[in-house]
Structure 1
Amino acid sequence: MAPSISASLNADSPASNIVQARLPKLSPEFIAQHYPSETKLVHVHLVHRHGERTPASHLFPHISPKHWNFCAQGNRLYTDFAKAVKVYAPDADVGGDGNSYQQWHSYMFKLENSKSSSIFPKDNLSKAHKNDKSQFTADTCAFGQLTDVGRESLTSLGVHMRALYMDALGFLPAMPRPGDGNGPTEDLYLRTTSYTRAFESLQHALGGMYPNLPANSPLFRINVRPRSIDNLYPDYHCKIIGRLHAESSTESIALFAEDHAALHKDILQVPSLQEAFEAKLKSKAGYTSLYVWDTVSSMRSHGLPLPKEIDDELIARVSNISAVEYLHPTMSSTQLARLEIGPLVRELADNVVCAIEADRGIEAGKTRPPKMSIYSGHDTTIGPLLAILGDDLAGSPSLTTSATPMWPPFSSSLRIELLKDSTSPYPTVQPSWAGDLANHSEDLSAIPPEERIRPLTVPDSLYRWAPGRTDNASAVPFNSRATRDYYVRIWYNDRSVQLPACRDPGAHHSKLGASVCTLDGFFKQIARFVPSESETIQERLALANA
């Protein structure tokens, strides 16, 4: 019998915890518990979702206001930007101060969304907004725009990073150190997708970390890749990924068929949602619950009134089923996960290896890797990563009555901490998955992904190291426990994540518990999801010809 989602809702968890991310409360006790003196930080990855935004499209005008007036700060910035690049031509005095707020919209966003007109004729939109009192003002947002609420959320995330990694732990300097020739700091690696809301979210996170520096400080080099080669979210233009996702989504929905059908039935009982939702069902658009979630979560996080039928329980169920439709497939299909987010996981794993080699001194004389890497992405970044990490709230097949899939809230963050501890006793037993030690040094590409114990990109030299050596000489004997001083811990918002591969005895820290993986435990968890470049090409060719 399939597990029941509705039965597992936690009645004392307010909906604000579902649509907005929380961070752990820092205290001397928290620091002492999670960062004891015998451990030191070597590297930190911070992967976050952008902050609160307006809905991506205007699909539910019966509940959503015509004008979302939450973008005063952003609009002022865009107006200044438009003036600076000389594309500003005042043509309306909407704000009453001689400035045009319509003008920058046409450059930065699309005010009209074709998806709306395909469902609602213009006369229906007018009827839906008959009693709408909202007006187009200097504060009005466009579709999918980061709001002032979202800016505050990412600033708060940056403030938290500063309080933890600078003030409490002294891991990062209070001010970023200039690189060679007073260039960008080498303490941070910064990357964002090309979406405006992700770029701005990163800027505000930096503002929280370094409040005395402007976001455009020359100390910050923000990297942006073209969408065609970006690995911070799945390539949805790839027909193979689309096909695999549709197939796996059908299987996931079938697993939770009772809850899926019950939610849709209840949504159709909400008068303000019925018309648009029926249109989506008829169009067979897929991921139908997600369309509701996009509007409802945005309204809830901005404090906008919702119909009485859309209460906290219904919001939670929409979050659950959206994750089942969209995130659960990634966890249930190794092949899909490898194609969707494997390249990013490969990059994160490579960063861990570089940080260890630099810490050992192997890369002496070369530029040291950054102390922290920050990636600004989306729910479609956080969700697949959580699925790969086997987190129950990402839609694990092992759903229980105490953990159900949840959609990643706005400003959600994953922190991957590389720790070093040479003092605490290392586990004396081998985890059940370790198998023959010779597997470490074999040609891993010949081993099926599900049986690999480390990613293909993790070099053999990592296990051929001895204290005092600063080279990669192959004469050093292979040592399966050469990585024993290093551990990995992952935080998701306000809690640590227990990776399934790290729960076994021998796969986690002897004192800090199962949430602190041995390096090999972390490698085992991600190994089957990390294809090499050649494997990715071969896999796509094979699927295309299937």
Structure 2
Amino acid sequence: MAESGPKSSALDVDKYPLAPSGLELEQVHVYVRHGERTPVGARMAGHIPEHWKMCKTAHRFQASINVSGVDGMVEGFQRALKIVERADGTHHEGQCLLGELTDLGKKSTYNFGASLRELYIQKLGFLPDSLQNSEEVYFRQVLTTNVPRTTESLQQIIHGLYPTSKCQPDAIPAIFVRNGRDENLLGNADSCKRLEILLISFAQAAASTYNHTLEPLDKKLSKYFNGQPIRLDGKPRASGILDTIRAATAHNIKVPPEFEEKGVMDVIEKAVVAEWFSDKTEEVRRLGIGRLLDDLSTKMQHKVVHGKKDPLKILVHSTHDTGLAGLASTFDVFDDKWPQFTGSITFELFKSEREASGSSILQTIFSPLWSKPNSEHYVRMRYQNKNMVLPICAEEGKHLPSFPEFCTLAAFRERVQELTPLDYESECAPAGRTPA
């Protein structure tokens, strides 16, 4: 049985499930993988193109510059083209760098932003049609490579959500970035030695456990790699092959027939997912995702405390596949499938108005005059267009009755607190946290 493989994951507005009556949407946190890109390495020469000419629009840009004017230095714009030069000095218009967002990737991320607009503006009326206050939105990207695919993806998403014609002159959406040591949109092994040590040990363990599952593929696949077998820790590495095949099929590039077989790709994917995401220990979750969840929880709590005085309604984060898988795995809802291009996770904060407990009969009758409602808040996590029922909220009292996908904010924050490092730098020391 052949398969083309997953391509990109569009936001399904039509099948978005409305919240139960009585719940009001307060804030939305979106984490989205960048759009389609070229492979991060040149592999399978002679079978998959080494050079990809799919970046024509990606290489046209305007550079902001300072130029001399009558009143001194003023800002201007310079039109330019970026051209990829090959090792032999030749160049071809539209050629992509390795790992670069392609024209298709730009289109799919723009469509993702347009779907956000359709859902949260046109369907739900949650966001204003025109952006008049830039404090209502928050956009942030992860910077981990020298190829700005997350930057370009986020720019396209912003343009789809709030095109220039829908932004007031003073409402300029800002894109936030962090220095490498402060990055927390994915596990930051570069700034946390302990996390690096743990991830390496888990990868080695996965190789010992799963390499034998790849052996049955040797007769079929080694001919494409000069007789070398695919292994998690070999040359070629299974993760690199999965990346190349997924990138090719996303762009409708023909791959060798063996890599179109579902059985073959399922075996490779299972092994690679185990290598990258089987590390479900509490320590890895704390060091890898804990700081990000603390950011998310803090912003939600700020919204709860300040209500309408906090104008922030939607936060969009442009990240990588490992960021999405890390979040899903940390909450024990990962489907063990490699995240698709433009795959996304959303956390939606809802408010429910309930009468204060212990009210007297007279207070109930005259509640409009006497009593103020208690606000209960809930969090719904959605991944790949599906509601996630979080195990941490399974107990009675930790979710909205009859709706287990709506986790109480209290239960959600309790789990986040458990995952938040108390002293990140000391816990990142090679030996890890010292027992109390």
TM-score range, shorter chain: 0.7 to 0.9
Distance in 1 separating the partners of 2:156 and 2:207: 37
Distance in 2 separating the partners of 1:300 and 1:26: 26
Q: Where does residue 374 of structure 1 map in the other structure?
A: 316
Quote the sequence identity (%). 24
The 1:146/1:540 distance shift into structure 2, 3 A limit, reads same
The 1:85/1:370 distance shift into structure 2, 3 A limit, reads same
Deviation at 1:206, TM superposition (A): 1.1
Asked whether 1:174 is paired with 2:129, we answer yes
Asked whether 1:318 is paired with 2:268, we answer yes
Q: Where does residue 335 of structure 1 map in the other structure?
A: 283
Q: Where does residue 24 of structure 1 map in the other structure?
A: 12
Stretches of structure 2 lacking an aligned partner (at least 5 in a row)? 68-78, 358-370
Q: Where does residue 23 of structure 2 map in the other structure?
A: 39
- Write the mapping of 1:501-520 to structure 2, written as runs, cut at 5 A: 501-511=392-402, 513-520=403-410
1:354–1:369 contact (8 Å) kept in structure 2? no
Distance in 2 separating the partners of 1:543 and 1:494: 40
* Residues 197-238 of structure 1 deviation map (CA, whole Å, 9 limit, x = unaligned): 101101111111123449998611111112222112222324
The 1:264/1:243 distance shift into structure 2, 3 A limit, reads farther
- Write the mapping of 1:90-105 to structure 2, written as runs, cut at 5 A: 104-105=83-84
**What secondary structure, in the 3-state scheme, does the structure 1 residue paired with 2:186 have?**
coil
Q: Where does residue 363 of structure 2 map in the other structure?
A: none
Greater mean deviation of Cα atoms: 286-295 or 350-359: 286-295
The 1:46/1:209 distance shift into structure 2, 3 A limit, reads same
Greater mean deviation of Cα atoms: 522-531 or 35-44: 522-531
**What secondary structure, in the 3-state scheme, does the structure 1 residue paired with 2:180 have?**
coil
Deviation at 1:417, TM superposition (A): 0.1
Please point out which of 216, 224, 227 is paired with 2:177. 224
The count of corresponding residues between Structure 1 and Structure 2 is 403
2:37–2:101 contact (8 Å) kept in structure 1? yes
Distance in 2 separating the partners of 1:69 and 1:337: 39
- Write the mapping of 1:197-208 to structure 2, written as runs, cut at 5 A: 197-208=149-160
Distance in 2 separating the partners of 1:251 and 1:136: 43
Deviation at 1:316, TM superposition (A): 3.3
2:83–2:91 contact (8 Å) kept in structure 1? no
2:44–2:225 contact (8 Å) kept in structure 1? no
Please point out which of 379, 383, 397 is paired with 1:492. 383
Deviation at 1:506, TM superposition (A): 2.3
2:48–2:254 contact (8 Å) kept in structure 1? no
Distance in 2 separating the partners of 1:215 and 1:236: 38
Asked whether 1:529 is paired with 2:419, we answer yes
The 1:160/1:100 distance shift into structure 2, 3 A limit, reads closer
Counterpart amino acid of residue 415 in structure 1: T
The 1:209/1:281 distance shift into structure 2, 3 A limit, reads same
Counterpart amino acid of residue 505 in structure 1: E
Distance in 2 separating the partners of 1:276 and 1:344: 43
1:267–1:273 contact (8 Å) kept in structure 2? no
Q: Where does residue 365 of structure 2 map in the other structure?
A: none
Counterpart amino acid of residue 275 in structure 2: E
Greater mean deviation of Cα atoms: 241-250 or 163-172: 241-250
**What secondary structure, in the 3-state scheme, does the structure 2 residue paired with 1:415 have?**
strand
Deviation at 1:369, TM superposition (A): 4.5
Distance in 1 separating the partners of 2:35 and 2:277: 20
TM-score scaled by length of structure 2: 0.82
Greater mean deviation of Cα atoms: 42-51 or 220-229: 220-229
* Residues 254-285 of structure 1 deviation map (CA, whole Å, 9 limit, x = unaligned): 5xx3x64223541563145433954x859x46
Deviation at 1:425, TM superposition (A): 12
Deviation at 1:177, TM superposition (A): 1.4
- Write the mapping of 1:157-306 to structure 2, written as runs, cut at 5 A: 157-178=112-133, 185-194=134-143, 195=145, 196-213=148-165, 219-237=172-190, 238-252=192-206, 257=209, 260-266=211-217, 269-271=220-222, 273-275=224-226, 278=229, 284=233, 288-306=237-255
* Residues 14-39 of structure 1 deviation map (CA, whole Å, 9 limit, x = unaligned): 654x3422433416xx5xx5224421
Distance in 1 separating the partners of 2:251 and 2:286: 35
Distance in 2 separating the partners of 1:272 and 1:136: 31
The 1:527/1:422 distance shift into structure 2, 3 A limit, reads same
Deviation at 1:389, TM superposition (A): 1.4
- Write the mapping of 1:395-406 to structure 2, written as runs, cut at 5 A: 405-406=336-337
Deviation at 1:57, TM superposition (A): 1.2
The 1:100/1:540 distance shift into structure 2, 3 A limit, reads closer
* Residues 432-458 of structure 1 deviation map (CA, whole Å, 9 limit, x = unaligned): xxxxxxxxxxxxxxxxxxxxxxxxxxx
Distance in 1 separating the partners of 2:99 and 2:178: 20
Q: Where does residue 4 of structure 1 map in the other structure?
A: none
Deviation at 1:161, TM superposition (A): 0.8
**What secondary structure, in the 3-state scheme, does the structure 2 residue paired with 1:56 have?**
coil
Stretches of structure 1 lacking an aligned partner (at least 5 in a row)? 1-10, 87-98, 113-121, 123-134, 179-184, 394-404, 427-466, 470-481
Distance in 1 separating the partners of 2:110 and 2:220: 39
2:34–2:149 contact (8 Å) kept in structure 1? yes
**What secondary structure, in the 3-state scheme, does the structure 2 residue paired with 1:186 have?**
helix
**What secondary structure, in the 3-state scheme, does the structure 2 residue paired with 1:541 have?**
coil
TM-score scaled by length of structure 1: 0.67
2:141–2:175 contact (8 Å) kept in structure 1? yes
Distance in 2 separating the partners of 1:65 and 1:85: 40
Q: Where does residue 540 of structure 1 map in the other structure?
A: 428
**What secondary structure, in the 3-state scheme, does the structure 2 residue paired with 1:342 have?**
helix
After superposition, the CA RMSD in angstroms is: 3.4
1:268–1:274 contact (8 Å) kept in structure 2? no
Asked whether 1:345 is paired with 2:296, we answer no
**What secondary structure, in the 3-state scheme, does the structure 2 residue paired with 1:341 have?**
helix
2:83–2:93 contact (8 Å) kept in structure 1? no
The 1:190/1:408 distance shift into structure 2, 3 A limit, reads same
**What secondary structure, in the 3-state scheme, does the structure 2 residue paired with 1:201 have?**
helix
**What secondary structure, in the 3-state scheme, does the structure 2 residue paired with 1:490 have?**
strand
Counterpart amino acid of residue 221 in structure 2: V
